[in-house]
């Protein structure tokens, strides 16, 4: 029993780290744009596909493909915000959400054409190694994925807390018009924050791909998990997203170990509905943030 509890806790926290990487980008995008990015999970899967292709064709280790993906996705994200999404800010945000839904569809359809609908996973030389921690055997890739996610999250935290850009992003999240008033170039900050969010989603792709199997349609499942996390965390609260990732990661592991892996995603949906009923602003969200 204790064995199961400890295993659930450790595996859950490790998975939670990867969830945090997936959801922090979406949370930040929601913060600056007040818009749910429905393409987030499909963008992540694009990262997974790029990593698996680089590995199979050129033998690039998935961890090394992360910087490549981050660089590419920063550029693409910035261009997309400038060219398409940015137009809707201050206008009809419902349309912006539908645009991101369109992005999800195009990515899913494109992936279906290029990589077909078969299952993929990223297999490296160390995929089946385990790590012995006080008698508990933990797959090495779970630790690597959580560590990599931690590195990227710390980098994001450093950017947000120590740089002028980070201060501008946080100001824009808190109050867009006041940020503009005190001289923040909110249009540029929004573009950069969106690009960072997209890059974080892409960076989560290879890590997800090492731990799970996926196919183009999987992005709905992951999208459902990610939106549940950011609602539980409080939408634009990055700390809330981190906390919610850990809670849901552990809860999911307990359901997987105790009941059945098929019901694991249900944990996310039930948490979401309960939170909506009793604390609609989320764990660490403030009441009036969720406008628009």
Partner 1 sequence: MRLIRRWGPWLLLVICLALPVLVKQPAWLDMLQFTFMYAAMSVGWDIMGGYAGYPSIGHVGFFGMSSYVAGLLLVHFGVNIFASALLVGLFGSLVGAGLGFISLRTRGPAFLIVTLVFALTVQMLAENLNALTGGTSGLYLPLLDLPPDVVILPFYYAMLALTVLAVATSTFIRASRFGLGLLAIREDEGKAEGSGINTALYKILAFAVSVFFASVAGALHAQYLNYVDPDLAFEFIIGLNMVVMALVGSRATPWGGVLGAVIMFPISQLLVYTLPDKFSGQVPLVELGILLILIPMFLPDGIIKSLERWAERRRRRPRVPSTDTFAPAPVGAP
The footprint of partner 1 (CB under 8 A) covers: 30, 34-36, 38, 84, 87-88, 92, 94-99, 101-110, 112-113, 117, 220-221, 223-224, 227-228, 231, 235, 262-263, 265-266, 268-269, 272-273, 276-277, 280-281, 290-292
Q: What is the DSSP letter of 216?
A: G
Token couple for 9: 């806790």
Supply the minimum distance, in Å, between the C-beta of residue 32 and partner 1: 14
Nearer to partner 1, 68 or 84 (CB): 84
Nearer to partner 1, 96 or 145 (CB): 96
Place of tokens 């997309």: 80
Token couple for 201: 């989603």
Supply the minimum distance, in Å, between the C-beta of residue 54 and partner 1: 23
Q: What is the dihedral of CA 263, 268, 274, 280, to 10 degrees?
A: -170
Nearer to partner 1, 80 or 145 (CB): 80
Nearer to partner 1, 84 or 187 (CB): 84
Nearer to partner 1, 181 or 266 (CB): 266
Is the CB of residue 155 less than 8 Å from the CB of residue 203?
Answer: no
Supply the minimum distance, in Å, between the C-beta of residue 21 and partner 1: 20
Q: Which of 174, 254, 179, 249 is nearest to 6 (CA)?
A: 254
Helix, strand or coil for residue 218? helix
Is the CB of residue 279 less than 8 Å from the CB of residue 234?
Answer: no
Supply the minimum distance, in Å, between the C-beta of residue 285 and partner 1: 10
What distance in Å separates the CA atoms of residue 282 and residue 243, rounded to the nearest whole number?
Answer: 11
What distance in Å separates the CA atoms of residue 230 and residue 226, rounded to the nearest whole number?
Answer: 6
Q: How many residues does the chain have?
A: 292
Nearer to partner 1, 58 or 291 (CB): 291
Supply the minimum distance, in Å, between the C-beta of residue 94 and partner 1: 5
Supply the minimum distance, in Å, between the C-beta of residue 62 and partner 1: 26
Q: Which of 142, 140, 119, 143 is nearest to 129 (CA)?
A: 140
């Amino acid at each position: 029993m204790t064995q199961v509890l400890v295993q659930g806790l450790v595996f859950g926290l490790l998975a939670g780290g990867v969830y945090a990487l997936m959801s922090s980008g979406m949370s930040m995008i929601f913060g600056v744009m007040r818009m749910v990015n429905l393409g987030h999970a499909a963008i992540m899967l694009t990262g997974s596909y790029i990593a698996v292709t680089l590995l199979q064709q050129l033998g690039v280790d998935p961890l090394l493909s992360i910087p490549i993906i981050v660089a590419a996705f920063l550029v693409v994200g910035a261009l997309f915000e400038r060219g398409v999404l940015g137009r809707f800010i201050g206008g009809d945000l419902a349309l912006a959400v539908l645009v991101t839904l369109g992005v999800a569809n195009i990515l899913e359809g494109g992936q279906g054409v290029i990589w077909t609908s078969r299952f993929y996973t990223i297999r490296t030389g160390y995929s089946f190694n385990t790590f012995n921690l006080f008698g508990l055997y933990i797959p090495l890739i779970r630790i690597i994925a959580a560590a990599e996610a931690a590195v990227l999250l710390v980098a994001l935290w450093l950017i947000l807390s120590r740089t002028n850009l980070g201060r501008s992003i946080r100001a824009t999240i808190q109050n867009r018009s006041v940020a503009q008033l005190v001289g923040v170039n909110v249009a540029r900050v929004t573009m950069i924050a969106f690009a960072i969010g997209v890059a974080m989603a892409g960076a989560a792709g290879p890590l997800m791909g090492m731990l799970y199997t996926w196919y183009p349609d999987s992005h709905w499942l992951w999208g459902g998990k990610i939106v549940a996390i950011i609602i539980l965390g409080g939408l634009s609260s990055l700390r809330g997203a981190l906390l919610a990732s850990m809670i849901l990661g552990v809860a999911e592991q307990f359901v997987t170990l105790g009941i059945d892996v098929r019901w694991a995603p249900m944990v996310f949906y039930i948490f979401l509905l309960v939170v909506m009923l009793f604390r609609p602003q989320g764990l660490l969200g403030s009441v009036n943030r969720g406008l628009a």
